[in-house]
A and B are shown apart, each in its own frame.
Chain A
């Protein structure tokens, strides 16, 4: 099952959206700007 999730790079601060597969093989997260792997899923704002 695929869903879009927001991530934040802890090196350069870039926030971006990437496809997240819940049931698939995990993939390495990479910042599209600085290529860092310190990518943190952002918490969804409480509605």
Chain B
């Protein structure tokens, strides 16, 4: 951090937050609010005279509330820049100045109560998101009595207590009486791998953190009796198994079983832990001086804001989603944005550093090239047909279409990833997806349904998940009926209502639209639009007297070959039940409906065109009038 702070080409903006991001890869425009720190950081020499006289004493967040700080403070010892700041929420008041003692003692005269928040605007080519994580707060697990019992602490508090720079200067003491604890228990998976409390996922780092903590204790205080209560120890990774074995051989007792309850002796403040030792098959009770809850990792609470600002995608766990788990593990789905550290998934320091290095390298590759290659499958707008409704811009998951009311949508090709959601949404077919045009998709449908359409299960499959799920089913040689025929689209959101109706019109007995699971969508959240469109198609079919049960929707991931095969098996029965008469009736109804639909589209285009022409005439008239009034009456 010090190196970054001193680097001539790195600008560290502390106490700052991103408030707006616009533009696209290579050309982002970012607005940053830099909070007033009320101390001129260039002048402050960290003499600490101000903090000595400050009368406000509040819990120190960095020391997990185990120590106190003043209203004027340095957030933590290695903070960059090494300058004090005033938290206006803690200070007795600076408008008018209620105390001002810091102002009086500051020899550098660097305290400035008139300082205001600044809005900075910066242009950047790429961004790395490294917003980190939050530790789980175990207060809700009432059985463990955290925040009720003094000597039940979290692993984060343990770190502060045993740190030389911590509140007790590295002397490991109990919060209740300041005595050194000799019997310590660690409870694993607090807020992790639980359907009741916290999160269902494994937080990845807690096992090895506890192993490290037990080794620290064994090193600092060899007479400590440490016990670890666990479900299973996950010590994968280079050298981790050795560390775990070292911890065991140093005398730490590992007990397989998660305690159900902790009780406190009100006199001694000692803790009684009851646990079922599942290896020994016995119910045990342990008397301990201190219990450390090994808390899990959670996404930051402000992840929603970051997601909205940067057009990111999140997994069901709430962490930011990478563009591809194997091929693009540090890229966000939005081009030019990269992920590093625990914002992407829980990981330890080594993995975070590795990912950060990879992200920085990706940025270098992107920026040093000086030019970017855009996807070939971007939309093309036929301006004359566009009715300026802005629906394309509203559904674009990448915000790659800029539109102002009444104006022509502007497609930012560098920001577009080619999902085709916009083209499917356009009510007048003014947008054409290059290499995935309606004509090309219809030609595929025609070819599939050219012969014996009644035998075909026409399936729209998204490129990244469902189509790959079909591949998985095939390569695993899973058995399923041969009637499925796949039309590959980049995203299920490319499948418009018109394409679905076209397939039925061409004689498809059953149509399946399939895409990625919500958390896996390659195009952030485009497949939510698929749901909307399929629901609209169900309504339309019903209105036209066609059974909506003939249109199906399934989410199939690339790994779900089994599900793909099962869906093909299950849907074969309703496909076979569709009679030739029903298909013939559908074709007739939809052929008429298509004519009506085309007529409606043409009317919409014509109406929009007329409106534009009228507006242009009005503008011309008013400019002619203005020119005449400027010129004044002609001289005779």
Contact = CB atoms under 8 A, between A and B. Distances in A.
Interface of A: 10-11, 26-28, 34, 36-41
B518 A11 contact: no
5 shortest interchain CB distances as A-B pairs:
A38-B552, A10-B549, A38-B553, A37-B554, A28-B518
A28 B517 contact: yes
B366 interface: no
B570 A11 contact: yes
Interface size classification for chain B: 10 to 19
Contacts of B538: 10, 40
Nearest to B518: A28
B531 interface: yes
A28 B570 CA distance: 20
A27 B531 CA distance: 11
Given A11-B570, A26-B531, A41-B535, A36 B518 contact: no
A36 B528 contact: no
Contact of A37 (B548, B551, B555, B571): B555
A24 to B, nearest CB: 11
Contacts of A37: 553-555
A11 to B, nearest CB: 7
Contacts of A10: 538, 548-549, 551-552
Given A10-B552, A37-B553, A27 B535 contact: no
Interface in B554-582: 554-555, 570-571, 574
SS class of chain A's interface: helix, strand, loop or mixed? loop
Interface string B502-544: 0000000000000001100000000010010001001000000
A41 B555 CA distance: 17
Contacts of A27: 518
Contacts of B570: 11, 34, 36
Contacts of B554: 36-38
A27 B525 CA distance: 11
A34 B567 CA distance: 11
B550 to A, nearest CB: 9
Contacts of B553: 37-39
Interface in B1-54: none
Contacts of A41: 535
30 contacts: A10-B538, A10-B548, A10-B549, A10-B552, A11-B549, A11-B552, A11-B571, A11-B574, A26-B518, A26-B528, A26-B531, A27-B518, A28-B517, A28-B518, A28-B555, A34-B570, A36-B552, A36-B554, A36-B570, A37-B553, A37-B554, A37-B555, A38-B551, A38-B552, A38-B553, A38-B554, A39-B553, A40-B535, A40-B538, A41-B535
Contacts of A28: 517-518, 555
Nearest to B547: A10
B508 to A, nearest CB: 16
Given A28-B517, A37-B553, A38-B553, 10 more contacts: A10-B538, A10-B548, A26-B531, A27-B518, A34-B570, A36-B554, A37-B555, A38-B552, A38-B554, A39-B553
A4 to B, nearest CB: 18
Nearest to A43: B539
Contacts of B552: 10-11, 36, 38
A40 B551 CA distance: 11
A25 to B, nearest CB: 8
Question: Which residue among B528, B553, B571 has the maximum number of chain A CB atoms within 10 Å of its CB?
Answer: B553
B548 A40 contact: yes
Nearest to B571: A11
A32 B555 CA distance: 15
Contacts of B528: 26
Nearest to A9: B549
B487 to A, nearest CB: 18
Nearest to B573: A11
A11 B535 CA distance: 15
Which of A11, A27, A38, A41: most chain B Cβ within 10 A? A38
A37 B538 CA distance: 14
A19 to B, nearest CB: 16
Contacts of B551: 10, 38
A34 B574 CA distance: 14
Contacts of A11: 549, 552, 570-571, 574
Nearest to B554: A37
Contacts of A26: 518, 528, 531
A46 B535 CA distance: 20
B540 to A, nearest CB: 12
A11 B538 CA distance: 13
Interface centre among A26, A37, A40 (most CB of B within 10 A): A37
B27 to A, nearest CB: 30
A37 B560 CA distance: 14
A41 B574 CA distance: 21
A28 B518 CA distance: 7
A39 B518 CA distance: 15
A20 B549 CA distance: 22
A9 to B, nearest CB: 10
Nearest to A41: B535
Contacts of B555: 28, 37
Contacts of B549: 10-11
A31 B531 CA distance: 15
A34 B535 CA distance: 19
A11 B554 CA distance: 11
Contacts of B518: 26-28
